[in-house]
Structure 1
Amino acid sequence: MESLFTTTDVLLITKIAQKDQSALSALYDRYGKIIYAIAFKSLKSPEESEEVVLDVFAQVWRIAERYDTQKGRVDTWLFTIARSRILDRLRKLQRTHVSTTFSLDTTEIQPKADNVDLFESVFIAERRSRVIAAMKKLPDEQRLVIELAYYQGLTQSQIAEVTGVSLGTVKTRIRLGLKKLQSIFVTEEEF
């Protein structure tokens, strides 16, 4: 059954390479919903996910003749294209929404308990102000990964995926950012 499915996919790609629109439509019917679901899982946006699906099939239309059966199955090829388009979208969203989506907002560190006494509330507010001021002193790339880790709760692997940088770079940026924050607080305590 799987070999028949794979053979059908290869036949569709061959026809798409010959600019057969009905073959593209059949491939879309077969994989469009799956690619949408994968995109939505990462992007959390119906509009962005639909754009990814359209981008994937537009790219398939343009480069179908480059598909090589020796390098892998059609579905693997499609999912690789989809992954690339999803990462492109995530990078674009990160560039355009860094200040709004990932920016440290004072409301994100608000005390949640109603039973906090006045002195503790003032202490927390002062500490929050110090953290926000210190975070603003970090380079943008270090501040971004720290905010994603500590305020968005993402793992280092998720941060690498969202930002499009390697896992090693994410780890280095977090480490350097935390060291810089530590030195900022140590310097403030000396005065």
Structure 2
Amino acid sequence: MESLPATDALLLTKIAQRDQSALSTLYDRYAKIIHAIAFKSLHSVEESEEVVLDVFSQVWRISDRYDAQKGRVDTWLFTLARSRILDRLRKLQRTTPSTTFSMDATQIESKADDIDLFQEAFLAERRALIITAMNKLPHEQRVVIELAYYQGFTQSQIARKIGIPLGTVKTRIRLGLSKLKSILANEQDL
């Protein structure tokens, strides 16, 4: 008889006890969706992979701080991811303007020669997959996810911006992320 999969909360309890297999299981459940969300904002496979690594390394360090009374594990993970994505966006915004203005024509040409066509194809495919998955979400859920994860609004700001209760925003984000996770998991299995 096959055993039932561990709940996310139980996995976090085991991670807090330094169970690496629990971390691996949680990673397998959420890494793809966190990567997809990060990629939509960062447009970089490397940066998105860094976000995933940052999130799960943070989970390893602070799993004992998770409080089931305050929210679900997936919500907690997506909050950690959102924070890491915003950190990376801020970092990129600080570094990009200074390097952009200092480039001369020879630097631009050498960069063009280094373009990896396979990487570009991978990015285009990944981008299309994410856009397709986001378009499959109900409009109400897609809007709040885009405002939260791609424009950096807090849940309270979203509630004020679109004129709905904060609890409705939280529910739409949770349901939307759950559906997005499911859609992307099904797409990856094809």
TM-score (norm 2): 0.51
The residue that corresponds to 1:14 in the other structure is 13
The residue that corresponds to 2:45 in the other structure is 46
Cα pair 2:55 2:77 within 8 Å, conserved: yes
Cα pair 2:52 2:81 within 8 Å, conserved: yes
Deviations 1:25-83 (A, max 9, x none): 00000000000000000000000000000000000000000000000000000000000
1:159 Cα deviation after fit? 9.5
Q: Tell which structure's C-alpha radius of gyration is larger.
A: 1
Aligned residues: CA RMSD:
2.9
1:158 Cα deviation after fit? 9.6
Superposed, 1:97-108 pairs within 5 Å as: 97-100=96-99
The alignment-based identity, stated in percent, is: 76
Paired amino acid for 1:50: E
Deviations 1:131-161 (A, max 9, x none): xxxxxxxxxxxxxxxxxxxxxxxxxx99964
1:98 Cα deviation after fit? 1.9
Higher relative contact order (CA 8 A, sep 6+): 2
The residue that corresponds to 1:36 in the other structure is 35
* Number of residues of Structure 1 aligned to a counterpart in Structure 2: 107
Distance 1:95 1:23 in 2: 36
The residue that corresponds to 1:76 in the other structure is 75
**Structure 2, unpaired ranges of 5+:** 102-147, 158-190
1:100 Cα deviation after fit? 4.6
Give 4+ residue runs of structure 1 displaced > 4 Å after superposition: 157-160
TM-score (norm 1): 0.50
Using a 3 Å threshold, how does the CA distance of structure 1 residues 44 and 18 change in structure 2: closer, same or farther?
A: same
The residue that corresponds to 2:88 in the other structure is 89
The residue that corresponds to 2:26 in the other structure is 27
Cα pair 2:82 2:149 within 8 Å, conserved: no
